[in-house]
Structures are given as C-alpha cells and as structure tokens.
Structure 1
Amino acid sequence: MALLRDLGLTLGKWAGRPGAQVQKDSGDPDVARVREAAEAADWASVRQVLAARPESEGRTELLWAVADTAGVEQWITKALDAETESEATLARLVAGIRHISWAWEARTAARAADVSREQFEVFHARLRTAEQWLYEVAEREPRWVSPWYALQITGRGLQVGQVLARRRFEATVRRDPEHLGAHQQQLQQICEKWGGSHEEMHAFARASVFGAPGGTLLGLLVPVAHIEQWLSLDAGPDAAYMRRPEVVLSLREAADHSYRHPDFVRRGSWNLVLNAFAMAFSLAGDRVGARECFAATDGRVTEFPWSYLHGSDPASAYRKQRAAVGR
C-alpha cells in the first residue's frame, strides 16, 4: 500500500558516485526495533517502544512499521484482552492501523477495474473494523493525532465523500497543524483521480505551504501536486505541462519557502521532500534545481514519487533522471 510514508536509507555504489538505493526506513533505530518485536509477536516490547514515543514526536512511522508486519492481526486482539482497561488504548490503535494495511493487502495495488468483488468486500470489511478501533482510540485519547490521520486513509478507501474527508483532515491538523502525512492524504483526497480537481489540489498545496513557517516540510505538496497532474496527462502533453514557466516558477517558490529556507532542518521526512523536488525539477527541465536536490539526497532514494516513473525499480528511475540533468 502506497501511504506516502517517510522511508529509510541504504547506500551503494554506482558509476563511481554515491549509489541510488531505496530507503527502508528513516534511519530511526526504533523503527527496526519495533518491527522486529512485531515479527516476534512480542507485544510487551512493541508497547514499550511505542509508549516511549509521544504523539507529538512523530509516532506514525513506528505504528506503520508494526501495521505492515504480517500476522499482527492474529495476536494484537489477544494482547488487547490481556491489557487492563486503562492500558488498552495503544493496542486498539495498533489493531486499527494493522487492519488498514491488512485491508490493502486484500485489495492489492491493482486498478479498481482489476479488483474482484470478493476482494473489495474483504477490503471494505477490514476498513470498517479499522474505523471501529480508531474511533474508540480517538474517544479515549482526544489529543492523539494518529487515529485521525488513520481515519483519513480509511475514509478514502470507504469513499466517505469530500465533506467527511475534510472534517477528518481538519481534526488531524487541529492537533498537529503541520502534520505532513495528514496534508499528503488530503492532497490525494482532492486530486482529480479521487473526485476532486487539479485547481482545488494546487490551491490546497500552495495555501498549506505558504501558510506554514519558512523551512516547512509541507513544501513537498507543491511538487507532488504537479506530478499528480503530469500523471493525468497523455505522453507529450505531460512533458509540455511540466515545462510551463508558471509550473517551474511555482516549484522554485515552494523550494525557497521549504528546503532552501534557512530554517529548514533535516528531520523526519526531509529526504522525501528533496526526492519529490528532484523528480519535479528534472521533469520540468530545471537542471540547476534538480542537481541541487540530487546532491542533497546523495543517493538516498524514497519509493515515492519515483515509483511513478518505474514502479518496480524506483532507484533506476532516480538514477536515470539524475544522469539526465548531469549530476
């Protein structure tokens, strides 16, 4: 399931320069720890890692590391039953998010036309179960961000509609105004392929970026919006669109307010931001901007958005575009 999460770091060699290999996690050692504990069905260790990471310090990646682990659904409800009522909220959160990942495993990444009715039935059933868990968590812990962010994802899968989807997004950002994942989910929600429009998507991206302080990671939204419109076009018009002067200008303005800003800090999903700008600038023919981003990423490839160019081999897409701009 492509959830636009920050990925990790592996380096290799390529043509005598820094390699280009897809990241597995953000480099946070707790991600590997919690994943290993989940694989071992060791709830006590999973709980310890998650409980030590406050919501305000970005617990999302840790939760998805657990949720994307096969078999968690088989033991998490047993772990929940063993918890005291006052300590069971975290287990409910894990159960809810695991059911989202498990739902997409049933649906697969295929186009809707290629997904069977039986697959959709399982997909929707698991998402509805996820929503039950997540609403319980939201009621128990009103300040937590994670359940509302996860409800944005279930909402799109269940096609709850733009009005309810917007309310879920607003519930997330009331608790964390610059939550990158929440903004990414809302951008997807209002893009044309999900029933929105290009105009609404671009307006949301720019308002979010320039409504945030300089150095914001939300700068990611502008290149992603342009890439989404590029994807919607046929060969020929897609390249012409990306090379429009107004598109190049908007990318440069967003870069200036984001990773080029003196207050930008390499934290969290910083490398995802640079990868998105690298792809957008290279498609737009801005060789200077693209080379700048490729130098900063230094071979650290995020699966998104490069999978749009080469779904099975994002690193190959990264290398090809890097070579094209002379980096």
Structure 2
Amino acid sequence: MLVRQAAAGDWAALRPALADHTGDADGTELTRLTAMVAEQAGVEEWTARALADAPDDTLALLLSGARHVNWGWEARSKAQAKYVSEDQWKTFHQRLDVAEAQLLEVAEREPTWLAPWYFLQISARGISLGPDVATCRFEAAVRRSPGHPASHRQRLQQLCQKWGGSHEEMHAFARTAMLAAPEGSPLGELVALAHLEHWLSLSDGEDQDYLSSPAVVASLQEAAFRSVLHPDFVPARGWQGSFNTFAMAFSMADQPKTARLLFDALDGMVTEAPWHYLSGDPVKAFTRHRDRCAAAY
C-alpha cells in the first residue's frame, strides 16, 4: 500500500501511515517505513512540493532527506570507486549534502526519533565525514533504539576495510555486539555479515579457504546458535534477511547440514542481500545453494 501511494505521489494518503508511528518508543517502524518509501523513484519530486506547501512538516522533511540519501547512491551506482565518473561523484555529493541538511534539521526538531540518525549514518559514510562523526551518529541511533539491527549493519559497513576500517575492527564490533545482546538476539547476524565482507575482499581461492577455515566455521556456528537458531529467538519483521545471510555463509563455508536448517526455515523466501554478491539474480543463487545443500543429505 505505501509503495503504491509513494509511486502515485499521494502524500495525503501516505502521511497518516507514517504519523501513526511517530510516538513509538523505539522508532524502528517509522524508520523501516521511511526506508521503504525512500527507495521509490520520484519521491524527491513530490516531497519537494509537499515541503513548499508546508515547510514545517517534519515527516515530509524526513522522507525527503531519506530519499536524497538513496537518490545519491543511485547516482553513484554500485560500481567500484575507480569506475565512478566525475559527474556521478558531483551528483552524489550534491544529493547527500541536501540529505545532511534536511536530516540534521529533523533530528533537531524531533530529538527522540531514531530515523534521522539511521540515515545520517549512511550519508556520513558516503561523503567521508570521518570515524568520529560516524561513531557519534551510530551512538545517537542506538541510544534511541539499542538493539536496532539496521543501525548495527550500517556500523558494520562503516568499519569495513573498503570504507576505511579494517577486518580487525569489523570482526571485533560484530562479536562484541553479539555478546552484549541477549541470547536469541538477531545481532548474531553481524558475525556472519562480517565474514562475508571479509570473504568479498579476498582473491579467488583465498576467499573459499577463508570461509571454510575451522576458525571461521566455529565462529559462524557460535553466532547462529546464539542468535537465529537459539531457542529464545523470536522471528520479528525482517527475520528472513538474517536467515538468508546465515544460509549463504554456511553454504559457502561447506557446511550443508547447518545451511539446510536455515534453508528449510526460509521455505523459499529469498532476500536480495546477501545473494546479490554471487550473481545478478539472487533467486537463482539461493536456489542453487539450497539444492546443493539438500542433495548433500
């Protein structure tokens, strides 16, 4: 419904759905809905009109800022930095500059909201505001929602080697966050994500050796059975993403038995990430690995 309203530019119909969640204690649903709407093309056009009509509408400002974050990354593309043109970089920074100004204004108007701090983590990484700013923004997000998985994923990205961090920082953050959370928390997924990011950075041959090494397999087993495979795990909205992450990690690590537990629980529910790392078609990648793991037993 929200996606259709966003595509139609029907702010009058869409706004109440967002407003219903402005008073939520942790802010996660407003953040999720804003992120979903901000992915839709054209949102930047009608939010600009909405703000022209009502400059004090903080929800419209939030959505515009979030959209400018996504819109900026669309201009940059997913290509490696060396393949991004000068014009793409210029547009990328222009859009993120708008996002920064708008989201910081939202944060000032509504100091309890999680949403602006979630998106400000992404814009800070894009325009390279540095580790101190990135840390402050993550801390601001988790003060408002301590266990917010999406904010933790953004922090993990910030600490990746490709964004100026290191494998050591990334793995330390993932494990520390997992251990600090209660057993059954989805934050154990961070450990699997960190191993997949490390795998991506390695050359052919080295990558497979890394994922299938005894230390990494043990780390993945600990994380899975402390989080998504723990008896206290309660599937919440988005649980499929965590299961897909672990399923891919275990399959790539040549652990079909554990991978099959996750594939069976998913029952065909595929998420784009992390399967997009393997091919242009996540469904084909998921199916290939699921069938291979099923055939092993």
- Residue 13 of structure 1 is matched in structure 2 by none
Query: Cα offset for 1:326?
Result: 2.2
The answer as to 2:292 corresponding to 1:324 is yes
Cα shift readout 1:11-64 (whole Å, capped 9, x = no counterpart): xxxxxxxxxxxxxxxxxxxxxx11111111111111111111345352223112
- Residue 4 of structure 2 is matched in structure 1 by 36
- Residue 131 of structure 2 is matched in structure 1 by 162
Structure 1 residues not aligned, in runs of 5+: 1-32
Higher mean displacement: 46-55 or 88-97? 46-55
- Residue 65 of structure 1 is matched in structure 2 by 36
- Residue 276 of structure 2 is matched in structure 1 by 307
Query: Cα offset for 1:216?
Result: 0.8
Higher helix share goes to which structure? 2
CA distance in 2, matches of 1:36, 1:243: 43
CA distance in 1, matches of 2:252, 2:74: 32
- Residue 260 of structure 1 is matched in structure 2 by 229
Q: Tell which has more relative contact order, 1 or 2 (C-alpha 8 A, sep 6+).
A: 1
Cα shift readout 1:118-155 (whole Å, capped 9, x = no counterpart): 11011101101001000000001101001001000000
Give the alignment partner of residue 206 of structure 1, picking from 175, 184, 187: 175
- Residue 20 of structure 1 is matched in structure 2 by none
CA distance in 2, matches of 1:306, 1:287: 16
Cα shift readout 1:226-272 (whole Å, capped 9, x = no counterpart): 01111111111111111111111111111111112222111122111
Query: Which residue identity does 2:211 align to in structure 1?
Result: M
Query: Cα offset for 1:273?
Result: 0.6
Give the alignment partner of residue 78 of structure 1, picking from 49, 65, 81: 49
- Residue 242 of structure 1 is matched in structure 2 by 211
Give the alignment partner of residue 130 of structure 1, picking from 99, 102, 105: 99
Residues 206-225 of structure 1: pairs in structure 2 closer than 5 A: 206-225=175-194
Give the alignment partner of residue 121 of structure 2, picking from 144, 152, 168: 152
| Structure 1 residue matching 2:294: 3-state secondary structure | coil
CA distance in 2, matches of 1:84, 1:204: 40
Cα shift readout 1:304-327 (whole Å, capped 9, x = no counterpart): 0001111x1011111111122125
Structure 2 residues not aligned, in runs of 5+: none
The answer to whether the 8 A contact 1:103-1:126 is kept is: yes
Q: Report how many aligned residue pairs link the two structures.
A: 292
CA distance in 2, matches of 1:272, 1:323: 19
CA distance in 1, matches of 2:114, 2:31: 9
CA distance in 1, matches of 2:184, 2:21: 24
Query: Which residue identity does 1:191 align to in structure 2?
Result: C
The answer to whether the 8 A contact 1:217-1:269 is kept is: no
Give the alignment partner of residue 189 of structure 1, picking from 158, 161, 184: 158
TM-score under structure 1 length normalisation: 0.87
Cα shift readout 1:266-308 (whole Å, capped 9, x = no counterpart): 1122111110000111111112110101101111111000011
CA distance in 1, matches of 2:77, 2:200: 20
Identity, in percent, stands at 50
The answer as to 2:14 corresponding to 1:46 is yes
CA distance in 2, matches of 1:205, 1:84: 40
Cα shift readout 1:167-207 (whole Å, capped 9, x = no counterpart): 11111001111111111011011111111111111110000
Residues 79-94 of structure 1: pairs in structure 2 closer than 5 A: 79-83=50-54, 85=56, 88-94=57-63
TM-score under structure 2 length normalisation: 0.95
Give the alignment partner of residue 172 of structure 1, picking from 128, 141, 150: 141
- Residue 121 of structure 1 is matched in structure 2 by 90
The answer to whether the 8 A contact 1:89-1:137 is kept is: yes
CA RMSD of aligned residues (A): 1.3
CA distance in 2, matches of 1:249, 1:111: 32
